[in-house]
Structure 1
Amino acid sequence: MSITEKVDVEHSSPQIVAEDQDPAVVRKVLLKTDIRVLPILTLLFLCSFLDRTNVGNAKIVGLEEDIGITDHQYDIGLTVFYLFYICSELPSNLVLKKASPRVWLPFLTILWGAITVCLGFVKNFASFVAVRALLGFAEGGLLPGMVLYLSWFYARSDLAVRIGLFYTATSLSGAFGGLLARGLVEIGPRGGLEGWRWIFIIEGLLTVVCGAVAAIALPNNIESAKYLTPEERKVALQRIRRDDPHNTGDVENETFKVSEVLRGIRDLRMWLSALAYFSILVGLYSFGLFLPTIINETGLPSNPNEAQLWSVIPYAVAALFTVIVAIVSDRIRLRGVMMLITLPFAIAGYAAIANITAPRIRYGMTFLMATGMYSSVPCILVWNSNNSAGSYKRATTSAVQLAIANCSGFVATFIYPARDKPLFRRGHNVSLGLLVAAWFLILANVLYCAKINRDKRLGKYDKYAGLCNDDRHPDFKLML
């Protein structure tokens, strides 16, 4: 059967079509898409996390003293970022659905890059808070937008490893950010600017350049991807439609329905994963913002600049494990179950560091903390997208999950106050409790998804058999 003939019968026999595809062609399609899309998204996400957390590097080399703010005012500046970040996520995803992704995602990148440059020129508390608010508003749409964007290019079983690959940018940004900050600090004082200001200026300009590259190189969707031949585009579309046999695959022209947005907001699976993600991100964000400070307080580094370098190694180890976990998750098609295995590493790390005073052991625990949290994130990021059908519902669940989860920033910025030095027991215990809660929320979601799949096999969802692009369809199997 030719590829053209396969497309003619895809709606009547999608699974047969998928199984009949040439594995060599499938590998070629995936490789081409990986090469064209993933490096650009990884670059954008690295810039995002770098520009979000470089304030932690600036803090330990003079930011607070030079602009005359207290530790509490610094925390307020971090919190304002998350407030505006959260508010922009769902509107941005709905705009992305209607607008051109190759325009919207690079536009957001260039905008927050320019705002990051402005952070290098703040003079007082008011300007610090204002610029951080604008930065949050500009950055908020990137991650939910990328998750939605990738779901238009890959089948469900392909997504975790791809998201895992670009999400390693967050752990790599921690490693790279420490090295870059260490070098950039040495520029100042120059041009009347202290060294920490150059961290924001140079990193912001690099982000603007990366946004311009993305505007040129990103494709809009798989249907219009010029890097694929017409036959390869058909194969790619068939693999995506295989996950939902009644998916029309017409992403560009799907009609907007408020009911689909509301269905996404009311989805219990979304709320369970969002609350679990919230709990994980409290630890993840506080880890990114305060790791240089935590390491500095162990007494192992001889000075704050050396602490920047010590922060590199836990991130590098976490990056490796994140990719490994994502690959395994895609191979066995399990999301929540994988997190039930990875989160205990972070739980053990926080439990130990909160109760141990030996500096070397405390530093060793940061490896467990980073590995357990970072390796869990690709699975939870992709879980809602995997279990949602209909692009507007998928856009909603992805954005709302991240909006809820990023409320963790309000907690993360206040649980490591300077007065808790050097052990930071309160912050570690808060993160520990939330990670335990995340483990039980994920377990509940796994059991709930298994129940829905069982009910579909028993015919309890047969009333939805006539629906297209809908995860309630009896043939749509949820991933656990």
Structure 2
Amino acid sequence: MLKSWVACLRIQKGSLTKQPKSAAELRRIADFQVLPLLLVGFATYQLDRTNLSSALTGGLADDLSISQNTINLGNQLMFLGVIALEIPSNVVLYKIGPRWWIGGQVLVFGIIAALQIFIRNESEFLLTRAILGLAEAGYIPGAMFTLSTWYTKAEITKRIAIFFFGMFGGTAISPLLGAGILKLDGHGGLLGWQWIFLDAVEGVWSVAISLLLLIFLPQRASYELVSQHKCMATNGWSIKDGNRRLPLAEVWRIITCIRKWPHFLATACVFATWSPLTTYTPSIIMSLGFSRVKANALAAVASILTLPVVLFFAWFSDKTKRRGMTVMIAISAYLVAIVILRTAQPFASRWCKFGMWTAVNGLAVGYHPIHNAWIQIKCRTPEERSIFLAYLVVVSATSGLMGGSQLFREDESSTLYPRGLLIMIGLVFLGLVLTALQEIIYFLEDRDAKTKSDSVDSNSAC
């Protein structure tokens, strides 16, 4: 491991003039340095984004005199900020490299998240959420694009799943931290929700992680694994070299490739249902009769459950080599869980309700890392990976999150959102249909490509 760190540092300084001796050597650098740094950065990103759910159980809405619908609007503004700068952010990453852009992002959005301690009213809450979204734009697709330059197609699925452990781990840790930090309510003249925003994770931790990224994240991936036999070779491209640009015409050509639009639409539909879950699950559990501290601790169970779910589907995807089928199975499992919750919740006991909400949360995004890897594998060039990741992973996903922020409305909070759950069922079913459509499109493309190849071989033989 130490040798991998030293080798990677040499790459950054430009002193490594020869290629690594083997693909395994480069892969160790990626596995022990690039991937862990991006994963921890993702966890920090998710903590900054989701700590609002713990702040709500700490009385933020009452202290600021804002309604649940205003909370929903604030989340929408945050996601809108991400959408507004997503593709420009990826273009900048393509130009200046991941070290400065990704490391700088973690520093900026960590500081902004901590400054939420000073909000005093509805306007300040909405403004801060919008600025936080602008600061977060680009991290997820930028990090995934960076990973895609270090691994072969055969290796990327499992690494993307591991990378998303940052999201799920951050989501799991956030309510656990909230459970502990809320005990500081009243200390130092600060309310519980203010301690949530001010704690060491938001301040010192974000700064520390940003410094690690700025120092140790390779500025460029000068070597790509381009052989399925794990041979090392350059393909004339790096994440930052002055000989390649990303013209707007190329961006437009890639985005208007309608054959991949089912990916985007399916992501928006299914991801929309995750937004209310991340915001209101601790509050829902608290409404079942648990204390605010215990509710936050119990909310972490679902996010912890997500980790083995994602690993299972990543393993299944790699074993079968059927990414589309794996995505459909994962979405189907999530759909079944929501249907059971919507049907049985009115008659269930307190702990049964907790169990059903936990199952829904645990299965909500099990498909997502495999979906992301699926589209990467179907991209033919680095430019396609860069733009499709920006458009698929964040623009479409964040559009879904933005719309989904309004699924759980204040007027049905006392009945645990039966209308919202019914809409979630419809959205997930539609996402499943779109995923099946995308699989059919790829099947027809592969069949046509094989037919043309066979025809060329036949003519050559003649």
Q: Normalised by the size of structure 1, how large is the TM-score? A: 0.84
For residue 412 of structure 1, what is the aligned residue in structure 2? 404
For residue 437 of structure 1, what is the aligned residue in structure 2? 430
Structure in which a larger fraction of residues adopt helix: 2
Bigger Cα displacement from structure 2, 394-403 vs 50-59? 394-403
Relative to structure 1, the CA distance from residue 190 to residue 76 in structure 2 (aligned partners, 3 Å threshold; closer, same or farther) is: same
Are positions 1:115 and 2:108 aligned together? no
Q: Output aligned runs, 1:204-223, within 5 Å.
A: 204-205=202-203, 206-223=205-222
Cα separation, 2, equivalents of 1:168 and 1:182: 21
In structure 2, the gaps of 5 or more residues are: 1-19, 457-462
Cα separation, 1, equivalents of 2:338 and 2:29: 41
Are positions 1:140 and 2:137 aligned together? yes
For residue 228 of structure 1, what is the aligned residue in structure 2? none
For the 8 Å contact 1:318–1:367, the answer to whether it is kept is no
For residue 3 of structure 2, what is the aligned residue in structure 1? none
Equivalent AA in structure 1 for residue 186 of structure 2? P
For the 8 Å contact 1:329–1:379, the answer to whether it is kept is yes
For the 8 Å contact 2:154–2:228, the answer to whether it is kept is no
For residue 230 of structure 1, what is the aligned residue in structure 2? none
Are positions 1:334 and 2:322 aligned together? yes
For residue 310 of structure 1, what is the aligned residue in structure 2? 298
Cα separation, 2, equivalents of 1:326 and 1:200: 34
For residue 14 of structure 1, what is the aligned residue in structure 2? none
Bigger Cα displacement from structure 2, 130-139 vs 169-178? 169-178
For the 8 Å contact 2:97–2:220, the answer to whether it is kept is no
Relative to structure 1, the CA distance from residue 242 to residue 94 in structure 2 (aligned partners, 3 Å threshold; closer, same or farther) is: farther
For the 8 Å contact 1:157–1:331, the answer to whether it is kept is no
Q: Output aligned runs, 1:339-350, within 5 Å.
A: 339-350=327-338
Correspondent of 2:443 among 428, 450, 454? 450
For residue 364 of structure 1, what is the aligned residue in structure 2? 355
Relative to structure 1, the CA distance from residue 100 to residue 462 in structure 2 (aligned partners, 3 Å threshold; closer, same or farther) is: farther
For residue 12 of structure 2, what is the aligned residue in structure 1? none
For residue 92 of structure 1, what is the aligned residue in structure 2? 89
Q: What is the Cα deviation at residue 39 of structure 1? A: 1.3
CA RMSD of aligned residues (A): 2.4
Deviation per residue, 1:296-318 (Å, 9 max, x gap): 2333x2x1221101111111111
Equivalent AA in structure 2 for residue 318 of structure 1? T
For residue 175 of structure 2, what is the aligned residue in structure 1? 178
For the 8 Å contact 2:152–2:226, the answer to whether it is kept is no
Cα separation, 2, equivalents of 1:366 and 1:70: 23
Equivalent AA in structure 1 for residue 306 of structure 2? A
| Sequence identity percentage | 24
Cα separation, 2, equivalents of 1:332 and 1:146: 26
Equivalent AA in structure 2 for residue 351 of structure 1? V
Tell me, what secondary structure is at the counterpart of 1:440? helix
Cα separation, 2, equivalents of 1:26 and 1:331: 22
Equivalent AA in structure 1 for residue 410 of structure 2? A
For the 8 Å contact 1:265–1:397, the answer to whether it is kept is yes
Tell me, what secondary structure is at the counterpart of 1:406? helix
Tell me, what secondary structure is at the counterpart of 1:355? helix
Relative to structure 1, the CA distance from residue 142 to residue 246 in structure 2 (aligned partners, 3 Å threshold; closer, same or farther) is: closer
Are positions 1:351 and 2:323 aligned together? no
Relative to structure 1, the CA distance from residue 439 to residue 461 in structure 2 (aligned partners, 3 Å threshold; closer, same or farther) is: farther
For residue 288 of structure 2, what is the aligned residue in structure 1? 298
For the 8 Å contact 1:147–1:382, the answer to whether it is kept is no
Tell me, what secondary structure is at the counterpart of 1:354? helix
Cα separation, 1, equivalents of 2:275 and 2:180: 23
Deviation per residue, 1:39-63 (Å, 9 max, x gap): 1111111111111111111012110
Tell me, what secondary structure is at the counterpart of 1:310? helix
Relative to structure 1, the CA distance from residue 240 to residue 198 in structure 2 (aligned partners, 3 Å threshold; closer, same or farther) is: farther
In structure 1, the gaps of 5 or more residues are: 1-21, 224-232, 464-480
For the 8 Å contact 2:180–2:293, the answer to whether it is kept is no
Cα separation, 1, equivalents of 2:226 and 2:372: 24
For the 8 Å contact 2:23–2:230, the answer to whether it is kept is no
Q: Output aligned runs, 1:100-249, within 5 Å.
A: 100-202=97-199, 203-205=201-203, 206-223=205-222, 236-239=224-227, 248-249=236-237
Correspondent of 2:313 among 325, 339, 361? 325
For the 8 Å contact 2:220–2:238, the answer to whether it is kept is no
For the 8 Å contact 2:171–2:300, the answer to whether it is kept is yes
For residue 76 of structure 1, what is the aligned residue in structure 2? 73
Deviation per residue, 1:120-149 (Å, 9 max, x gap): 111111111111111000112100111111
